[in-house]
Structure 1
Amino acid sequence: MKSIPSKQSTENFVKDIRRKTRRLFTSEQKILIVMEAIRGETSVAEICRKHGIHQTQFYKWNKEFLEAGKKRLSGDITREATSDEVSDLRKENQKLKEMVADLMLRYDIVKKSLTILE
């Protein structure tokens, strides 16, 4: 039976402790930290030290923040429908469905009358 080297188990133990004691930031906290850097009053390194985060984590949040803003602003180009427009489209859709049902009924009647004549 092989025993696990003590170095490996020690590393796993430390990783488990770090994983369990990891700080979780709310989205509001992340936004405030990113906005603090955008203001440019202090350096990113100072902000990261102040909040106890690694710079790569900060840059990941910054990228996500900017991508979300870009995605939201691109919504101005592809405008979303208002509730009035949606209700109008639903009414039009219902009318079209009724028309299709009526045409199908008429088609069936004509088809049956033609088979009777034959």
Structure 2
Amino acid sequence: MKRSRFSEEQIIAVSKEQEAGMATADVCRRHGVSSATFYKWKAKYGGLEVSEARRLRSLEEENSRLKRLLADAMLDNAMLKEITAKKF
């Protein structure tokens, strides 16, 4: 997945600028992002604090690691079943 040029802290700061009363178009223009990107950020990070965003990222990384481990285990299991089926 492509890494953003903005950190979670920066994204939350941009969101807070808009919540403070600045127009969305002005915030987007000032930071050089599209309004679609801004609303995507707002959906993901809206209402979060910086520490919560860091925790969210670490949980997402752990979740993807566990999914890879599960996929590898299921593949190994399928191969073992295939090998034992050929022996009989």
TM range (shorter): 0.3 to 0.5
Output the TM-score relative to the length of structure 2: 0.47
From the CA coordinates, give the structure whose radius of gyration is larger: 1
Q: TM-score normalised to the size of structure 1?
A: 0.36
- Does 1 or 2 have the higher relative contact order (CA < 8 Å, sep 6+)? 2
